[in-house]
Structure 1
């Protein structure tokens, strides 16, 4: 009987351990969520509160206007139109979102990352040079390709990536992302346009340039195209 009890206990422990291993935390939907023990003082949640289902309507799952081209008259020559949970409330908890990217000739969607989502991009019009950079563990390899109308490319979650219009006319792409709020960190803006500024000594050593160049870059206006 002892052997039977031991076997039963072992199976139960293994089953419970398997359950713990298979469970996981939900992905973060904001940059950080500091724990607080006083709910009345809480401001944000990881995601959004849910509407009572009996008050839900079709408009909670609807967005109009993505067919309209946005102006690209800005320093980088591109504009991103996001369709995430802030535009479609029904996306809450569904783990997907969308974006349209308009490019002027030679327009660039600058190197950036999405900390909470992978991206799949399809070219609707024009020719784009796209790519992403792998992590330090993979020697920061550049994975790039020239895309034409109808071509599709994937950018893995968290990796730095970009898109450049190589054509003489405007270009348009549509991107799907695996988060209701994938976030975006534009590298140049974050490094040289942080508020307050990063100590120039840090950046001078990191980029192996002199402080004058860092000072010049920190004084530039870093445009946000999102």
Structure 2
């Protein structure tokens, strides 16, 4: 009887381990349509790896993050990313970085999400009002905090979040993310500036706005 229990336990462990070894990696792109003809395909979820013998120190180096971004735009902010697109040595390492510059009083990193990464932010200079909104399941709760130089705040993966400069001087923050390519979806751009445009009836009902307001907002993007 003991041997029978042992065999059942062993079979269950083997079955479980097969699931673990077959688990898909987290996606590193918005979508991946399957094809049967590999001649028309591209490599996804990372990049092809460079020959190890050809790897040099510069493959792990990115200069210039000390240089401020240009905040003379509609929202008054600039993001300088350091993802796998800018720093090839990040491939397969699951991390990335960004510098965020804010114009004085009102510079905004508009509400957005990172579908593939949690973000942890540290203020280098200035004062920021930051926050994120939980999912529908958690009641769309708003969590906010005023951050000063040296303060740290975390934005959970996939949740809408923002940062606003409430100080009279420029502000700077550094952001680390738990993906080599976390992705960014800016909410207003995605909804009112999609290509092609979302049918106004959808946005009118979703936001409970007059059709002329929706059309105006779409024209702004």
TM over 0.5: yes
Pair 1:214 & 2:217 matched? no
Q: 2:7 aligns with which of 2, 6, 9?
A: 9
Structure 1 ranges of 4+ moved more than 3 A = 20-23
Once the two structures are superposed, residues 99-128 of structure 1 have per-residue CA deviations (whole angstroms, 9 ceiling, x without a partner) of 000000110000000000000000000000
Structure 1 residue 45 corresponds to structure 2 residue 44: yes
Structure 2 Cα separation of the partners of residues 146 and 101 of structure 1: 16
1:63 aligns with 2:62: yes
SS of match in other structure, 2:220: coil
Give the distance between the partners of 1:159 and 1:150, measured in 2 at CA. Answer: 23
Q: Give the corresponding residue for 1:153.
A: 153
Unaligned runs of 5+ in 1: 222-226
Q: Name 2:25's counterpart in structure 1.
A: 26
Q: Distance in 2 between matches of 1:211 and 1:17?
A: 55
Q: Distance in 2 between matches of 1:141 and 1:205?
A: 22
SS at match of 1:219: helix
Q: CA deviation at 1:22?
A: 3.6
2:197 match: 197
> Structure 2, unaligned stretches of length 5 or more?
none
Distance between the aligned counterparts of 2:197 and 2:18, measured in 1? 43
Contact 1:133 1:143 in 2 (8 A): yes
Superposed displacement of residue 38, structure 1: 1.4
Give the aligned length: 219
CA RMSD of aligned residues (A): 1.1
